[in-house]
Structure 1
Amino acid sequence: RDKGEELVLAARLYVLGRLLVKSFGEGAGGKEVAVPRRGLETVHQARLARGIDAVLRSGSEKAMREGHVVKALSAYSLATSSGARDVLAHFLRVRAKAIAMALEVDAEERPAPVRNPKDVLRALGLYTKTILDVQALVPHKLTEALFALKEERLLENAALKEMEGLRLDVYGRWCGDEIHFYKPFIRHDDLDLKQAREMLAGFADKGSDVLLHGLEKTLEGMTEFKAIVELRTSVLRLWIAEGGKARGFDPSEMLDRLRAAINTHMLRVLEAKVAKLRLIGSEVSAALNAWREGATDKHRALWDVSSLDTELAHGAASFAQDVVARLHGRGDAVSKAVAGYRSWFRVIDDVGQVVDQLRRQRWDNDVDEIEDEETIEERQRLLARDDPAALGAHLDRLLIDAFRRLDDQLSTLWTARRAGPDSGAVATYFLRLLRDVRARLPELENPAVRGFGLAAVPSLHEALAAAVAVAPLDEFVTGALARRTVVGRGLWEGSEPALPGLPSPGAFRFLRALAVAMGDAGGDLWSPAAVAVLKRQLARQVGEAWLEVLGSLVVREQAEEDGKEDKEESGDEDEKEESEKEKGEEDIKASSNAGHQDLLIQWLMDVNYLQLFLGTDSDSLKDLAEAVYQKSGLEAASKERLGKAAQDYFKRTSLLFSLLA
């Protein structure tokens, strides 16, 4: 005996018990049957109802196929004397309650209910199965089953007769006519097709609302894009496979509502994920607020082996990462911000891959080949083209806006620190951060993304160049340019006149100090644009400082000449007395003038040499070279010899200052 037959038998027993209790209650022993009556009306009735509802809410294909559902409905009708209409209404109530329980729509009162995405599929399966089951039951199966119950007297049922505990063959004769001739009074014909359709339509409308509400609540707890897409795929495939089987329903309406609910949540999740890019700006702001010179901007040297993690027990990945971080000058402050950006980028990159996955999905209904090509193509267009396109377009808009906001935030932070005493170190921090962020930008052609951070780069390079050049330039001006004697004058080559073949030690030390300062700041910073800014600044500053020194030298010479003329006009009164003294002073002046000329020649060599490093197109250095040349008294051929000597020495020494070359 199967589950359905057991329920029908239990319903017959319940009806028999009710009739017996009623018959006893009419006689003298009414008080003695009060307890059995209460037990029958509470315990046994509730147990029977639970068994019936368990079969009805299961939604099992096997239960429907083997007739368990029809028999359970027959048992309900028998136990409650319900007609076909009431039986169908009860069936729809049980299924509606089962759908609500699966989705936990009554769990609002509980704090943060944990919802399983599989429950959505189970509820949707119950929803579609209910519609199909009702259309299978009405108008024939249910009516025929209820009619069969009316045809047979209760005590003539074979299953009741077979129960040894009842002993109907013995005790049946003691039953009254009301029991002996009892047939269930059931309205099997009180449900027509129109009423059934209206009841089913009401269930479908309310059930779809419950389903969508439960789907939305389930989606609220889902933030992983892949999980959301998996649920989308499962839900839509289930509805495509089952929703089209029901007669009289347009499956596209429910499909659109399911799509809308899922798409809305995906857009919300997308907005939340993209918006986290602002945390990079917050991290930068926090680093600047906690900035400590010499600590925040500190980065470990590449060859500082003492602090290098050489433990390779767990592989070389951490060692390689440490080396790359040092090579790129990433200190703790830069590493924190870059790590945050890379985590964010991985999430957004995964979203992009999911969108591509949506575009590749096929939405054919392979279960039943009952759809025309036009329907399939329309669904494919909606699910595999329109939805991914809308999602991708929204993602692009969010990314453009997020990068524009981050760019504005970083520009504001840099502007606030640009004039500070630590602007060089802060510029270094921003340059490294922007470089690593720009190394992994989303693949968008919008200027807000492709041009991220570029507007601030020139000012960052200027601050970096100013910070790096200040010490070498000060040392050069106060040291080399203040010197009035030529070191290595005896090494000059040629005759008429002899010319230097190499720059002065001061010029060489200046380039050396500059290269060391650039290396200390970080070799990773010196892109061609940064080097060009440094050269341009240095060329201007060196030219201005040197011209000032040259001007003071010229003023000094002019003062000496003026003094000489004044003495010649003073007369010859003390001429004899001071002749010997003046002769000595003239020798000193001649020697001084020769020294000044040698200094100017050496300066011209130094200027030519520095021009090759700092830029031959610099107007400041060109003006300086021309001014020194005019004061040196050299001929054009000698000037050309100096230029060639500077070029030869540059070829031999340029690799010593590779960051500048």
Structure 2
Amino acid sequence: MATSDTSTLTNSAQIFTTYTLPQIRAVHKTLHAQIDEKSARLRTQVGNSYRQLLGTADTIVQMRGDMMSAQEVLGRMGSQCGRTVIDNKSAGLGRFRGNEDAELALGRAARVKLLKACGLAVSRLLKAGTGKDAEGNRGDRLVLAAKVFVLSRLLVSSFGNLKASDEEIRSAVEAAKKNLDGLRRKLVRAVEKALQKVEEGTDITDILKALSAYSLSSSSGTRDALRRFLSIRAEAITYEFDYEEHEKGRGTDNILRGLDLYTKTLVDVQALVPNRLPEALLGLKKKPLLADEALRSLEGLRLDIFERWCGDDIRYFTPFIRHDDLDGKQAKEMLMAWAKKGGEAVLSGLRNTLEHISEFKAIIELRTSTLQRWIRNGGKARGFDPSIMLDGLRKAINNRLLQLIETKVVKLKLVGSEIAATLEAWQSGVTDRQRGLWDDEMLSIDFSIGAAQVTHEVVSRVYGRNHAVARAITGYESWHHIIDNVGDLVEQLKRQRWDNDVDEIEDEEVIETRQDLLSKDDPQLLHTRLDETLIKAFQDLDGQLTTLWRSRKDGLDNGQIATYVLRILRDIRNHLPKLKEVQSFGLDNVPSLHEQLAIYVSVTPIEEFTATTLTQQRVAGLPLWEGEPALPTQPSPSTFKLLRNITVSMGNLGVDLWTPAAVRTLKRVSCQQIAVIGHKELAATALDLDGAESKVDEDGKDETSAENGGNAKTTDVFIQWLFDINLLRRYLNLGNDESDKAMKDLASEILKRTGLDNEAERRLVKASQEYWKRTSLLFGLLV
């Protein structure tokens, strides 16, 4: 249905007479819509008119304020434009124009005073920047000091060529020039000190401001500033390792600081260029120097007063610094070249430092701290492979450790030198003099010295460690203690962890590779070299001892020397390294040493035994024989004395010497000597009997009874000899050894001389066994 047009209606009655009910409803809706639209339009129009009214009111208020200000200014101008005021100003202007020379002199004096104030301000700023309380604003002070320095330089230049009449001004300017040179050096040193600082609290902002101060004071661009920065860091690294010139102590701190300088330089340069440093230099020339708020607020300069006496060349001076003369590629090339030289300087300094460290533990600690520092910081620089520097550090440290291992191990030859010196100065009865366990010195010992010292004295005396032996063994024990420490330190390297979880999470493969290098390959290299040098050192010492012994083997003091060498070999072998190749150390010489020891111990008792027993013509204990036929039940006194003398001689020489091998050698040597002497005596007895029979035949006399009596005595002696030989075989029992065979042959030959039957022989052997059972403990060293 079409909408009805209500504009033609003149009154409301027409609606009800003209339209239908639906049309009336449509008209009703249309009228309501028009009413709402006109109400909204009216509200909008009223609001806009109100805002315009408020704006007009503000304008009226502002115009009133401006009019009052204009009236005030016009009134003040009117008061200053009076006739008297104009006359006074005109007279003053005339006087001013007539006194230009005085004005110039006043300006020069003001600039001289400002120049002096600048010198004091620079000194004060640099001095304040060195205190502990100024660490936070050190960079700001350096930049401000550089600005004051530039102002001083401008002031000096503003004087130009002074006339001769200005002597006072000239002297002041000359003094200021000299002072300016000193200030420049101080500023350079302060900048260098700030750039060399790499402690934990150092911020890149401080370095940036220090470089800004350097550029400002020297008018250097970005390229020159970066080159100077790299040069200062290179000099700082060299300084850390230049100990002779700077008289610095060598140690871990210097190496760590040099390494920090290297790594921090790489990181700092990448942070400075190509953006931050050029931007900082650009900021220095955005406005004139005297417009700097920090400079104007500096106490002592009073620029609010002295600025009017400065010329336009000073007032409007803007620093000219090239900030765009270095791009990223050039900066990277400069950094790469510096990194190569800097790395070589660090490694060279590390090697030089290690050359002056002789303690293995100190180098291990240095290795730990140095490698940990590099692992933590070496990967922070972008574009650099930290493994290259790590390999260089490892190589330098490993080479020194290997060299130190060889140096320490080769000192084993000092033990051989001590033994050679002792043998060279050997004095029988002095060098080999033993201290007894129960001598007066031991009995009078002061037990308050402690149990350890008393125990040491007892053990030394029991094991025959006299002064000669103790010197060699003490040297070996000291050497062995050092080598043990070296081995323990090498083992500790295998247990070290080399993770870098401080700043970043590394790849597992990188961590595993580094762990294998530092805790597996390096310790294995050191361990292999240690084993090789130990084997060679012990072989050399063994050869040296062999040569020394062979040169003294046939001397008069060979028995005492054998005792000395055996004790040294015993104590050394008790502390041998756990290496299969050195377990045979000294064993080749032991049989020869035991041989000479056995001869030295047995020669005197056997000689006495030969002189008393084998030459006797009758048996002293014949009445004590038992049985039928009568047989001896105990040895002859000289045989008993032989066993006792051998035992006493063994004890006097030292019970520590008599190992099972030494006792076997002594038994073998004693058996051989007794067998040889016994056979000789039997042969001599047979010759005497043959001679006696020949004499009887020639004389033709009947001496049967006398002959029988002489043969009876000889038989008794042989029987006693047989008992003694069987007893000695018990004490000197060697089983199936050749020496025991010789004693058995001697016993068989004597048995033939006795004429005893088998039963008597068994009784004799059994009697010797029973006697050995009863008395064996009397000769314990031989049993």
1:630 correspondence with 2:752:
yes
d(CA) in 1 for partners of 2:214, 2:525: 50
d(CA) in 1 for partners of 2:441, 2:235: 69
Q: What is the aligned counterpart of 1:548 among 631, 655, 680?
A: 680
**TM-score, normalised relative to structure 2:** 0.79
Kept after mapping to 2: 8 A contact 1:308/1:322: no
d(CA) in 2 for partners of 1:600, 1:46: 114
**Cα deviation 1:416-475 (Å, max 9, x = unaligned):** 1101111111111111111111110111111xx111111011111111111111110011
Aligned to 1:484: 617
d(CA) in 2 for partners of 1:170, 1:225: 69
- Matched letter for residue 63 of structure 1: T
Deviation of 1:558 after TM superposition, in Å, equals 3.0
Aligned to 1:575: none
d(CA) in 2 for partners of 1:160, 1:534: 103
Aligned to 2:335: 200
Q: SS where residue 165 of structure 1 aligns?
A: coil
Structure 1 unpaired stretches of 5+? 571-577
- Matched letter for residue 619 of structure 1: K
d(CA) in 2 for partners of 1:309, 1:316: 15
Distance verdict in 2 for CA 1:102–1:470, change over 3 Å: same
- Matched letter for residue 546 of structure 1: G
Aligned to 1:512: 644
1:99 correspondence with 2:217:
no
Kept after mapping to 2: 8 A contact 1:427/1:461: yes
Deviation of 1:37 after TM superposition, in Å, equals 4.6
Aligned to 1:264: 399
- Matched letter for residue 468 of structure 1: V
Q: What is the aligned counterpart of 2:550 among 404, 408, 415?
A: 415
1:363 correspondence with 2:501:
no
**Cα deviation 1:86-110 (Å, max 9, x = unaligned):** 11111111111112212226x2697
Aligned to 1:283: 418
**Cα deviation 1:504-524 (Å, max 9, x = unaligned):** 112111111111111111111
d(CA) in 2 for partners of 1:314, 1:194: 76
Aligned to 1:63: 202
Deviation of 1:35 after TM superposition, in Å, equals 1.1
1:610 correspondence with 2:724:
no
Aligned to 1:386: 521
Deviation of 1:566 after TM superposition, in Å, equals 4.4
Kept after mapping to 1: 8 A contact 2:432/2:560: yes
**Cα deviation 1:515-574 (Å, max 9, x = unaligned):** 11111111111111111111111111111111221222223233333444445xx5xxxx
Aligned to 2:766: 644
**Quick check: 361-370 or 388-397, which moved more?**
361-370
Q: SS where residue 244 of structure 1 aligns?
A: coil
Task: Report matched runs for 1:538-577 at 5 Å.
Answer: 538-567=670-699, 570=700
Deviation of 1:301 after TM superposition, in Å, equals 1.4
Q: What is the aligned counterpart of 1:463 among 583, 592, 596?
A: 596
**TM-score, normalised relative to structure 1:** 0.94
d(CA) in 1 for partners of 2:220, 2:441: 89
**Cα deviation 1:359-409 (Å, max 9, x = unaligned):** 111111121234211111111111111111111111111111111111111
1:503 correspondence with 2:635:
yes
Distance verdict in 2 for CA 1:164–1:238, change over 3 Å: closer
- Matched letter for residue 638 of structure 1: A
Distance verdict in 2 for CA 1:61–1:489, change over 3 Å: closer
**Cα deviation 1:100-152 (Å, max 9, x = unaligned):** 212226x2697xx7423211111111111111111111122111111111112
Aligned to 2:537: 402
Aligned to 1:526: 658
Aligned to 1:574: none
Task: Report matched runs for 1:124-203 at 5 Å.
Answer: 124-203=259-338
- Matched letter for residue 727 of structure 2: Y
Kept after mapping to 1: 8 A contact 2:371/2:390: yes
Aligned to 1:594: 712
Distance verdict in 2 for CA 1:308–1:397, change over 3 Å: farther
Aligned to 2:475: 340
Kept after mapping to 1: 8 A contact 2:156/2:177: no
Aligned to 1:74: 212
% same residue:
49
d(CA) in 2 for partners of 1:87, 1:541: 97
Kept after mapping to 2: 8 A contact 1:226/1:354: yes
Deviation of 1:40 after TM superposition, in Å, equals 4.7
Aligned residues: 640
Kept after mapping to 1: 8 A contact 2:162/2:170: no
Larger Rg: 2
**Quick check: 310-319 or 69-78, which moved more?**
310-319
Q: SS where residue 378 of structure 2 aligns?
A: helix
Kept after mapping to 2: 8 A contact 1:14/1:45: yes
Task: Report matched runs for 1:46-61 at 5 Å.
Answer: 46-61=185-200
d(CA) in 2 for partners of 1:76, 1:295: 79
Aligned to 2:83: none
Q: SS where residue 555 of structure 2 aligns?
A: coil
d(CA) in 2 for partners of 1:211, 1:659: 67
1:299 correspondence with 2:417:
no
Kept after mapping to 2: 8 A contact 1:21/1:36: no
**Quick check: 585-594 or 143-152, which moved more?**
585-594
Distance verdict in 2 for CA 1:508–1:61, change over 3 Å: closer
Structure 2 unpaired stretches of 5+? 1-133
C-alpha root-mean-square deviation of aligned residues, in Å?
1.8
Q: SS where residue 575 of structure 2 aligns?
A: coil
**Cα deviation 1:573-609 (Å, max 9, x = unaligned):** xxxxx8xxx4xx4333222211112111111111111
**Cα deviation 1:600-657 (Å, max 9, x = unaligned):** 1111111111110112541111111111111111111111111111101000001111
d(CA) in 1 for partners of 2:305, 2:440: 103
1:427 correspondence with 2:562:
yes
Kept after mapping to 1: 8 A contact 2:625/2:632: yes
d(CA) in 1 for partners of 2:305, 2:674: 128
